[in-house]
A = this chain, B = another copy of it.
Amino acid sequence: MQKLRLKSAEIEKSTHLEFFKIALSVDCVIFGYDKKKLKVLVFESDFEEYANMLSLIGDLVQPEEDLEEAPYRILRERAGLHDVYMEQVYTFGSVSRHPSGRVITTAYFSLVDIKTHKLPASETNLHWHDVDDISQMAFDHKIILDTCLTRLREKILEYPIVFNLLPEKFSLRELQDLYEAILGVELDRRNFRKRITLKNWLVDLNEMEEDVPHRPGKLYKLKKQLKSNGKPLRLKEQNLVI
């Protein structure tokens, strides 16, 4: 076996200074849901090169900030969002992806309930945009959005995360509409209800919808132990094939 020539970390750094010249950013695909449509939080880019094109919310990671903390900070600072479901998806690092220089970006998606998380009035440029009505974005943000949407679709088939897009109390019809909006398919009502009850994810609140112009539906909430604001939740042996 080769004899080891040990390096110390100090020497390593001093001999590789030319590599410590990359910026790291985080781009957040913040999904919401309203009026039977999946939404994403965007603003019009304030980069000259991409003027008026839709842009995801992102920021550079601070020199002393853990990567996994950055998306939470960005959601707090830029959108006033706290305690959201967040998941890392993919890191994009083409040399030419950003006009300012070598900026690689890690994409996260998060799921928030639009109704209970109001946008700060100071961020007048931010708005919720229909996901399926976006054909172009600034930078490589359209690819980032598509990648996150694909991951979201895969994930909701197995893990109870869509509830982060709904208010605490919801009817089965609202839940089914949400699945249909995300997956882009129609589902059979009876079979959907059977599967959801089989999964045993929900608590029947013994309450009814109010102010609906038709027969009110029963209200449910997610079981407490399945709530997952923060780290993704792993369930064994529970495939929900919607």
Contacts and interface: CB of A to CB of B under 8 A. Distances in A.
Interface of A: 1-2, 4-10, 12-13, 16, 18-24, 44, 46-49, 51, 60-68, 88, 90-95, 98-102, 104, 106, 124-125
A46 B2 CA distance: 11
A102 to B, nearest CB: 7
A140 to B, nearest CB: 12
Contacts of A51: 4, 6
A10 B100 CA distance: 6
Contacts of A48: 6-9
Identical chains bound together, number: 2
The 7 closest A-B pairs by CB, nearest first: A67-B93, A9-B99, A13-B100, A8-B48, A2-B124, A91-B91, A9-B100
Nearest to A24: B22
Nearest to A90: B88
Contact of A16 (B66, B94, B100): B100
A102 B47 contact: no
A182 to B, nearest CB: 18
Nearest to A49: B9
26 contacts: A2-B124, A2-B125, A4-B46, A5-B46, A6-B46, A6-B47, A6-B51, A7-B47, A9-B47, A9-B98, A9-B99, A13-B101, A16-B100, A19-B23, A20-B21, A20-B23, A21-B63, A22-B23, A24-B24, A24-B93, A63-B102, A66-B93, A67-B93, A88-B90, A88-B91, A91-B91
Contacts of A21: 20-21, 63
